[in-house]
């Protein structure tokens, strides 16, 4: 009898062969040899850092490309990590809208245009979190400073607001609830589950009486219900499991929400990965924040510098601080021996805040155990440009999610294979 599989068959080739776009589980009966080894690697993780105002292009992008590029003004703060990240030029989602398009950074799809996409404006972090499921207590952790950047969106197009206080994040990760609180939570989950069951039954009865437009609305609604059901199941799976012991002193100050808290937030996100409390994390940096140490004007105002030397100099102080702390994040991931298993994304949906352009966005990819290429200049000619969504698709393949497309992708990111 002819064999239907081989020990070297990749799951992606299998999916393409049968014309599906699904993330299949690893079937033990079909897993042998090198394929078994590839499916039992260490857990992969993802961290996405989004800065609403991006970075001044004149200070961010190096003038030369390749591994031996001359570092730029902004990237100088992390030059000691240069072998472990790739800077990309000439990538974007071909969107317009200034501040109103920044939220599409990790999806490629604006909320107002999401109805034409099967996954709406779902972001790459949430696609990874959905794939990871309940392997960790939290499918994803979204953190931020103050207002956030509207960076994270679910499959049904619902925004996930960030936890913008380090004390709250610490409690979520390491502080166990007492028995009374756990029982109340268990009762709440049971109640929500019964309500969802009733809604599903009602929706099924309605379906045959609706026209095509209303059936589409109902399908969107049921998709949202299924998301809630999935989160309920995840909550039930972890409700009785104790949280890990905190490896740092308790973070108790509820009032601290300044830019100087960025290192602490990065510490907490690394600890969340290190304790396997989550596999996916994001950090949102808004266009306005408080500061006790940076003696500069309004960050948003500085981004509209008008090419004035004084304002540009102050803007570079802020951006140097943000990049220094990103270097600190990489330091912490390396110390925790997570760097090679974690794909780290830094960037923005804003290409040039001064002109409100969403084109040629600043983008950096670090870690992941991949062969980095220094400064990678992508084609800039019209008709040859590569959609940023192609890189997100390749990133999801690296994470283990075998899908054929994501957002506005036209294929994988061929200049830099991630898997």
Q: What is the mean pLDDT of the segment spanning 134-156?
A: 87
Query: Which residue from 99, 66, 96 is spatially nearest to 82, judged by alpha carbons?
Result: 66
Which percentage of the chain shows pLDDT scores above 70? 73
Domain membership of residue 9 (yes or no) is no
Do 82 and 161 belong to one domain? yes
DSSP 181-216: HHHHHHHHHHHHHHHHHHHHHHHHHHHTT--HHHHH
Do 142 and 258 belong to one domain? yes
* pLDDT confidence tier of residue 194, bands split at 50, 70 and 90: low
Which of 241, 263, 289 is the last residue before a domain boundary? Answer: 241
Of the given ranges (136-140, 193-197, 245-249, 383-387), which has the lowest mean pLDDT?
Answer: 193-197
Domain boundaries, position 231: 177-241
For the chain, the helix, strand and coil percentages under 3-state DSSP, each to the nearest 5? 45, 10, 45
Q: 227 pLDDT exceeds 90?
A: no
Q: 177 pLDDT exceeds 70?
A: no
Q: Quick one: pLDDT at residue 8?
A: 33
Q: Quick one: pLDDT at residue 213?
A: 66
Domain membership of residue 69 (yes or no) is yes
Helix, strand or coil, per DSSP, at residue 12: helix
Q: Quick one: pLDDT at residue 256?
A: 58
Encode pLDDT of 80-99 as tens digits.
Answer: 999 999 999 999 999 999 99
Do 227 and 346 belong to one domain? no
Encode pLDDT of 362-384 as tens digits.
Answer: 999 999 999 999 999 999 999 99
Do 78 and 155 belong to one domain? yes
Domain membership of residue 365 (yes or no) is yes
* pLDDT confidence tier of residue 406, bands split at 50, 70 and 90: very high
Encode pLDDT of 283-330 as tens digits.
Answer: 999 988 878 788 788 888 888 888 888 899 999 999 999 999 999 999
Q: Average pLDDT of the chain?
A: 81
* pLDDT confidence tier of residue 185, bands split at 50, 70 and 90: low
Give the CA distances from residue 392 to residues 102, 190, 328, 386, in Å, rounded to whole numbers and listed in that order.
16, 37, 24, 12
Q: Quick one: pLDDT at residue 38?
A: 42
Do 206 and 282 belong to one domain? no
Give the CA distances from residue 407 to residues 20, 114, 153, 220, 380, in Å, rounded to whole numbers and listed in that order.
17, 9, 12, 17, 20
Total count of domains within the chain: 2
Give the CA distances from residue 358 to residues 74, 102, 135, 352, in Å, rounded to whole numbers and listed in that order.
19, 7, 35, 7
Do 97 and 198 belong to one domain? no
Q: Quick one: pLDDT at residue 291?
A: 82
What's the pTM value of the predicted model, to 2 decimals? 0.80
Q: 268 pLDDT exceeds 70?
A: yes
Do 349 and 255 belong to one domain? yes
Query: Which residue from 173, 182, 189 is spatially nearest to 233, judged by alpha carbons?
Result: 189
Give the CA distances from residue 243 to residues 5, 132, 137, 139, in Å, rounded to whole numbers and listed in that order.
41, 19, 9, 15
Do 230 and 110 belong to one domain? no
Instruction: In whole angstroms, give the CA distance from residue 209 to residue 291.
Output: 57
Q: Which is higher by pLDDT, 315 or 28?
A: 315
Q: Quick one: pLDDT at residue 237?
A: 61
Do 155 and 187 belong to one domain? no
């Amino acid at each position: 009898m002819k064999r239907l599989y081989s020990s070297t068959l990749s799951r992606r080739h299998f999916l393409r062969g049968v014309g599906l776009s699904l993330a299949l589980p690893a079937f033990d009966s079909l897993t042998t040899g090198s394929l078994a080894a590839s499916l039992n690697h260490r857990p992969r993780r993802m961290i996405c850092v989004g800065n609403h105002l991006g970075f001044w292009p004149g200070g961010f992008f190096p003038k030369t490309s390749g591994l031996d590029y001359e570092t730029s003004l902004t990237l100088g703060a992390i030059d000691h990590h240069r072998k472990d990240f790739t800077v990309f030029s000439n990538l974007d989602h071909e969107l317009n809208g200034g501040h109103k398009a920044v939220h599409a950074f990790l999806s490629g799809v604006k909320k107002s245009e999401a109805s034409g996409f099967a996954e709406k404006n779902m972001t790459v972090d949430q696609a990874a979190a959905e794939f990871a499921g309940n392997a960790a207590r939290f499918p994803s952790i979204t953190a931020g400073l103050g207002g956030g950047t509207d960076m994270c969106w679910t499959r049904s197009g619902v925004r996930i607001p960030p936890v913008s206080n380090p004390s709250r994040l610490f409690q979520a990760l390491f502080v166990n609830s007492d028995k009374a609180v756990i029982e109340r939570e268990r009762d709440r989950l049971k109640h929500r589950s019964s309500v969802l069951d009733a809604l599903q039954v009602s929706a099924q009865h309605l379906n045959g009486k609706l026209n095509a437009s209303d059936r589409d609305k109902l399908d969107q609604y049921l998709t949202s219900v299924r998301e809630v059901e999935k989160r309920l199941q995840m909550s039930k799976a972890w409700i009785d499991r104790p949280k890990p012991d905190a490896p740092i002193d308790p973070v108790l100050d509820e009032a601290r929400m300044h830019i100087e808290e960025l290192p602490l937030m990065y510490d907490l996100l690394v600890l969340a990965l290190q304790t396997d409390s989550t596999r996916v994390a994001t950090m949102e940096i808004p266009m306005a924040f408080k500061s006790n140490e940076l003696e500069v004007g309004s960050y948003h105002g500085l981004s509209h510098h008008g090419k004035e030397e004084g304002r540009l100099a102050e803007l570079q102080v802020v951006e140097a601080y943000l990049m220094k702390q990103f270097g600190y994040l990489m330091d912490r991931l390396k110390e925790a021996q997570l760097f090679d298993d974690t794909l780290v994304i830094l960037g923005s949906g804003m290409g040039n805040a001064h002109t409100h352009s969403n084109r040629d966005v600043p983008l950096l990819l670090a870690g992941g155990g991949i062969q980095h290429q220094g400064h990678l200049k992508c084609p800039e000619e019209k008709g040859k440009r590569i959609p940023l969504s192609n890189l997100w698709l390749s990133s999801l393949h690296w994470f283990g999610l075998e899908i054929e497309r994501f957002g506005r992708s036209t294929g994988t990111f061929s200049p830099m294979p991630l898997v």
